[in-house]
Amino acid sequence: MIIVLAGIGGALPRLDILRCRALNGSPLTYRTKRVLVPCPRQGKYDKEPAVPLRDLLLGLSIVAIWALNIIVIKLGVEELPPLLLTTLRFLLVAAVLVPFHPVARHQLPFLLLLSATFGTLHFALLFIGLGQAEAGTGALLVQMGTPFATLLAVFFLGERLSPKRILGLVLSFGGVLVLAGGPSLPSPLPMALLLLSAFGWAVSQLLIKKGPNIAPLALAGWVALFAIPQVGIGSWWFERDQMSAITNAGWFGWGAVFYTAVMSSIVAYGMWYGLLRRHPVSRLAPLSLLVPVGAVLLGVVLLGESLNAHVLGGGAMVIAGVALIVIRFRALIGR
């Protein structure tokens, strides 16, 4: 996942803050020059109506796109080396987004830093890890980005852990231990790669929270642009026969380039941010938890992956733990 669902801590994400101002007419306040503080609640924000059927179906469509994205990556790395596939993905994302989403010059150093944590550390290791682990297990391990982000917020932002979030951390890390003992991870290496990928996502969310306010699609395009040489050099150094792979790649390889770049990163995230403008995060966070569930089921149906006790038990613990961290249940039920 590449999105802040509930901020790193309890504060509202920027899109929700802007929405709160529109609803309540309250001005934004600032704790510092760079960290936004949510505006005062006046009842209307807390008691949101249920998500309309149209938006619910749109949200489920986004979940399906993201769940299938894990399967597509798994199939793609069978025809293209993972770092080469990641590089081609970044090339396409940058080509589509950068010309239409300019950024200020002073924002470029921040985007360059983010390209290292988000582009290289998160995406590159995700593609490599999925080449060595089952798709469903990979999707579950990547969810650990949320617990990692929570811990980083405690250490670097001074945020406090509620008992509910502590329980969520215990459950999610316990789920990882259960998954580690299963047959879907043939060695410790893919688990380490996928957890490092999740950690890269968590560090990126911390940077985004503290960094300049950049439009989501602009951020995605420029991060991709700056990540191209980083991942490309990695492919040149660690992988072989790239030209042969490009020449011989079929529907799975080139389909993965298109799907991961256009459908997952541009179309799905564009729709998701549209939903965030209309609904509070507490209403949408449960939908995001369906992504690993869908990926596990698609892995079983499309790839013939096993659905054993380790995947069921460990996956349930990870998802339950993340749910306790990200979902504000009182807001969800309108209280």
Higher pLDDT, 220 or 22: 220
Domain membership flag for residue 2: no
Domain membership flag for residue 280: yes
- At 35-73, the pLDDT tens digits run 444 444 444 444 556 678 888 999 999 999 999 999 999
Is it the case that residue 331 has pLDDT exceeding 80?
Answer: no
Domain membership flag for residue 236: yes
Percent of residues, the chain, with pLDDT higher than 70:
82
Domain membership flag for residue 47: no
Segments forming the whole domain that contains residue 294: 14-41+53-332
Domain membership flag for residue 7: no
Domain membership flag for residue 9: no
Q: What total of structural domains would you count in the chain?
A: 1
- At 76-101, the pLDDT tens digits run 999 999 999 999 999 999 999 999 99
pLDDT class of 182 with cuts at 50, 70, 90:
confident
Domain membership flag for residue 257: yes
Domain membership flag for residue 77: yes
Cβ atoms within 10 Å, residue 177: 11
Given a contact cutoff of 8 angstroms between Cβ atoms, the answer to whether 207 and 49 are in contact is: no
Over range 203-226, report the average pLDDT.
92
Query: pTM for the whole thing?
Result: 0.82
